[in-house]
Amino acid sequence: MVTEHTSSSPAQVLVASNRGPITYTLGEDGTLDARRGGGGLVSGLSAVDDKLWVCAALGDGDREAVRRGVGEPGVRMLDIDPEVHADAYNGIANSVLWFVHHLLYQTPVEPVFDAEFRRQWASYETYNRAFAEALAQEAAEGAAVLVQDYHLALVPGMLRALRPDLRIGHFSHTPWAPVDYFRLLPDDIAEQLLHGILGADRAAFLTRRWADAFIGCCTEILGGTGRTRIGVHGLGADADFLRRRSHEADVDERMAALREQVGEDRKTIVRVDRTELSKNIVRGLHAYRTLLETRPEWRERVVHIAFAYPSRQDLAVYRDYTAAVQSLATEINGAYGTESWTPVVLHVKDDFARSLAAYRLADVALVNPIRDGMNLVAKEVPVVSDHGCALVLSREAGAYEELSEDAIVVNPYDVTGTAEALHEALTMSGDERSGRTKRLAEAATALPPQQWFLDQLEALRQE
């Protein structure tokens, strides 16, 4: 069910996303604790004061907050049936759409689009309809509505049918699959997804590559994109926030602890990721192991700081992947470690201050996703690096489009090539590394989150 709570007056700017800017935790004594989220979207939306953010209640605390009428101005949380949300979010968005756009399927055995898939797809439709109805209810005449990501791909079309007066935009934070891979989906589902996004006046993407892939799918399957305009907005790092936050006391404390773990006069290779299948952490560890095997001069002289924060652990395939990361790190430490040197320092508990400390310490940043819409880590490290950092970057990351000239670019499947790139990065001269870092930071901050959002809003209003 969707709550009937509405804001006091119709909104002129509305944003819709699965996750909102605030999360509630229900204490044992019945109290609700509110915690504000971070990230590019939250930062970007701070550019607009008078807006309404429509999001889903994601847990028991959120749902209890909605039922008690607890909330904050500018946010409407939808209490969608938990089973419907689970089907839509885990069953379809994360287990089908994410896999399609990141090319993750082992196609000899998956996907299998059967009756269970159709049942979950019906929940995905219900979930999207709840958002469309809430947005239609809350929007002022001619308001601008910006719908976010693959969770809500059907919303623009549904909302257009309810409120043809609105200016509707959809933004994809993921890659978009090439047409041959997109057509793994059942034909009617593929068409429904495309029609859903084409309900928007404007569909936007992080890179030209993903936009072109979407256009290719629309052209091949539907004969074109109709009246929908296509845009590209490459989300950048929030330089002011990162530089300020990375020099606070808790970050300094984490830096001291990491330096102790690393040891004196050793170089560091840093990666910070969720244990998400597309992030390619296992191959990254294999590449590091290959570096130690083939370049023994690096033994005891380098430490791989790997932060792999668990993601989507309610899905078995993600739990298995997290376990594989931990197992391989243990294996490398067992094979090469000494009494005074731990080759891999692995942390799996999310800690933003520790991540920033690692960014500042990094001699080399390893960002090697199989496929990634953007990858803000690649942009954040150069911004906060204390003494310059060489970036080893997958050509399959969206950030490649902006950062490739000053990164060491790798094929994410090529473990041997990645090991050689790590060696090149570790041996880069200080002057070259410093120069590259400066240029990377400039490119990485060219479109900070607030400007990224305002540009989309302005483009939508001009359509």
Phi/psi of residue 51, nearest 5 degrees: -145, 165
Task: Give the single-character DSSP code of 397.
Answer: B
Q: Which two tokens stand for residue 5?
A: 């709570």
DSSP 106-119: -TTT-----HHHHH
Give me the pLDDT at residue 310, please.
74
Task: Name the residue type at position 349.
Answer: K
The per-residue b/e assignment along 439-456, b for 16 or more CB within 10 angstroms, e otherwise, is ebbebbbebbbbbbbebb
Phi/psi of residue 391, nearest 5 degrees: -105, 120
Measured between alpha carbons, how far is 438 from 170 in angstroms, rounded to an integer?
33
Helix, strand, coil percentages in the chain from 3-state DSSP, rounded to 5 = 50, 20, 30
Give me the pLDDT at residue 5, please.
35
Prediction pTM value: 0.93
Give me the pLDDT at residue 108, please.
96
Task: Give the single-character DSSP code of 178.
Answer: -
The per-residue b/e assignment along 18-51, b for 16 or more CB within 10 angstroms, e otherwise, is bbbbbbbebeeeeeeeeeeeeebbbbbbebbeeb
**pLDDT (tens place) for every residue of the chain, 463 residues total:** 333 334 568 999 999 999 998 889 888 888 888 887 666 566 666 667 678 999 999 988 899 899 888 888 899 999 999 999 999 999 999 999 999 999 999 999 999 999 999 999 999 999 999 999 999 999 999 999 999 999 999 999 999 999 999 999 999 999 999 999 999 999 999 999 999 999 999 999 999 999 999 999 999 999 999 999 999 999 999 999 999 999 999 999 999 999 999 998 999 999 999 888 899 999 999 999 999 999 999 999 999 999 987 766 667 777 888 889 999 999 999 999 999 999 999 988 788 999 999 999 999 999 999 999 999 999 999 999 999 999 999 999 999 999 999 999 999 999 999 999 999 999 999 999 999 999 999 999 999 999 999 999 999 998 6
Give the three-class secondary structure for 368: coil
Q: Which two tokens stand for residue 369?
A: 């996703």
Place of tokens 């995905």: 124
Measured between alpha carbons, how far is 177 from 103 in angstroms, rounded to an integer?
7
Spell out where 125-274 has E strands.
139-148, 167-172, 202-205, 229-232, 267-274
Task: Give the single-character DSSP code of 361.
Answer: H
